[in-house]
Chain A
Amino acid sequence: KQEVTQIPAALSVPEGENLVLNCSFTDSAIYNLQWFRQDPGKGLTSLLLIQSSQREQTSGRLNASLDKSSGRSTLYIAASQPGDSATYLCAVRPGANSKLTFGKGITLSVRP
């Protein structure tokens, strides 16, 4: 059974800092991995999707990497801003038609 872990549960950083959010999963046989952002009381917004054959994806100040052999993914946020404050969740899809399994998320606070 695939399990997804995100540690720490919360993180507070000063504005402008570069930061890395970690995601680990127990079964390295994955189909793809997706990073989401969730603002309080709202739905999830997709940030990046990495297919199993890819090592990384980039969008603006965000870069996500995938290392299947070690069961890890990282989301790198460059030059953090207060508007980046949100909960960041990663989700793993084990197979082509299987369900997404989510981590519990990391709540990020960027202090002005």
Chain B
Amino acid sequence: KAGVTQTPRYLIKTRGQQVTLSCSPISGHRSVSWYQQTPGQGLQFLFEYFSETQRNKGNFPGRFSGRQFSNSRSEMNVSTLELGDSALYLCASSDQGTDTQYFGPGTRLTVL
């Protein structure tokens, strides 16, 4: 099976813009989780979608949003970008959400 894929791999944006990141899970996986990774804060949970429903949500402002489609592909959107949003954004998929998490390579977002 193909692994988790994320597009794009790299993004450069300026403050105030918005961005959409995409994640395609492993075939058959229904759970997709998103994480933000920064050197200072480490890995922080953004949200999890299971069968198109948001099941868990982390402590991020409303500028961060996501959705999941019927084919389990997921997108996350960040509006009104801030410098502090520069990070590696990782998504992970699993079958039930409670078992082994498989991560994609990440999208490196730089906000100038």
Contact = CB atoms under 8 A, between A and B. Distances in A.
B13 to A, nearest CB: 19
Interface string B89-112: 010100001111111111010000
Contact of A102 (B4, B43, B55, B99): B43
Contacts of A110: none
A72 interface: no
A83 to B, nearest CB: 19
Central interface residue in A44, A46, A91, A98, by most chain B CB within 10 Å: A44
Q: Is the interface of B mostly helix, strand, loop or mixed?
A: strand
A45 B97 contact: no
Contact of A104 (B42, B98, B102, B104): B42
Interface residues of A, number: 24
Given A99-B58, A102-B43, A104-B42, A43 B98 contact: no
A31 interface: yes
A75 to B, nearest CB: 16
A32 interface: yes
A45 B48 CA distance: 19
Contact of B42 (A43, A46, A49, A105): A105
Interface of A: 31-32, 34, 36, 41-46, 49, 89, 91, 93, 96-105
